[in-house]
Amino acid sequence: MSYFLAKLKLLKEKTITNNKYCSLILNPVDPYGLSFLFEKEGAFMKVQYFEGGMYEHMCPACGHLHYIPVEYPFSNGHQCTFNGSFEKPTFNPDISIVSRCHYFIKEGFIEYAPHSKHHLAGQKVELPELEDG
């Protein structure tokens, strides 16, 4: 194992076992799995990697987690790009949850389309931080 990979492995193990230092996030957008993003102590993510090439975020309008396909499209063909920022995420194109939410996520804000069927329709609000655990 190269010196570089050994240092990454040690850093990963230390960070995971002692999350007092910082929280480690493996960035699945990185095809080699070597891109590590570090959050400052006390900073929180607004989106996180879920599984199967999807990211999740909390929808402030309905109070549920929504999932965004990035690595692979949904069965309906919808797929987004992601800027890689967990604190100020941007996804393109728009996101539509059938007959409920239609919105854009840009620079850590969620902007709901006017025809969304809830109290935040037509508004732009900050994307809430995800809770630990």
Q: What is the pLDDT of residues 17-26, one digit of tens each?
A: 333 333 344 4
Element (H, E) at 97: strand 91-97
pTM of the model: 0.67
Q: What value does the mean pLDDT take over residues 36-46? A: 56
CA distance 34 to 122: 39
Q: What value does the mean pLDDT take over residues 2-22? A: 42
CA distance 98 to 44: 29
For CA atoms 105, 109, 115, 120, give the dihedral sign. positive
Q: What pLDDT does 72 receive?
A: 94
Percent of the chain with pLDDT over 70: 66
Distances (CA, A) of 26 to 5, 57, 107: 14, 17, 20
The structure tokens listed for 26 are: 């493996």
